[in-house]
């Protein structure tokens, strides 16, 4: 099951600040939605959305879009095969050839 919190470092990146500055802000403002179950606090996506003046749905969609863009960048240089050439490569992979 996905979590509804993000670690301090990820939260700081999303907010455009440094983790130590975010921690100071959390402590100074007694920010709700921050959980201290571990050594580093976990920040609720609802709290992050509120700080960013957006909805949790918009924040999660943006995070998903960013993750997809990173995955697409990773395979951008991969070879592409179309039609019969693709079928031949696929069949070779199935047959255990390189």
What does the pLDDT average to over 48-63?
94
Per-residue model confidence (pLDDT) at position 95: 86
- pLDDT (average), residues 16-43: 92
Domain hosting 40: range is 5-94
Return the pLDDT at 2.
77
Does the reported pTM lie above 0.75?
A: no
Q: Is 32 exposed, middle or buried (0-12, 13-18, 19+ CB in 10 A)?
A: exposed
Average model confidence (pLDDT) for the chain?
Answer: 88
Looking at residue 97, its pLDDT comes to 65
**Model pLDDT, residue 14:** 94
Q: Total structural domains in the chain?
A: 1
Rounded to 10 degrees, the C-alpha dihedral 52/55/59/62 comes to: -110
Dihedral pair phi/psi, residue 10, rounded to 5°: -65, -40
Detail the DSSP E strand segments found in 1-98: 5-7, 34-35, 42-44
As to burial, measured by CB atoms within 10 angstroms (0-12 exposed, 13-18 middle, 19+ buried), residue 10 is middle
Res 22 pLDDT > 90: yes
């Amino acid at each position: 099951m996905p979590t509804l919190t993000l670690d301090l470092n990820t939260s700081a990146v999303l907010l455009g600040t440094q983790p130590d500055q975010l921690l100071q802000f959390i402590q100074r403002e007694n920010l709700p939605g921050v959980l201290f179950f571990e050594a580093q606090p976990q920040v609720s996506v609802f709290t992050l959305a509120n700080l960013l003046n957006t909805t949790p749905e918009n924040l999660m969609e943006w995070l998903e879009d960013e993750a997809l863009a990173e995955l697409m960048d990773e395979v951008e240089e991969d070879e592409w095969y179309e039609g019969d050439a693709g079928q031949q490569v696929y069949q070779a992979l199935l047959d255990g050839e390189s």
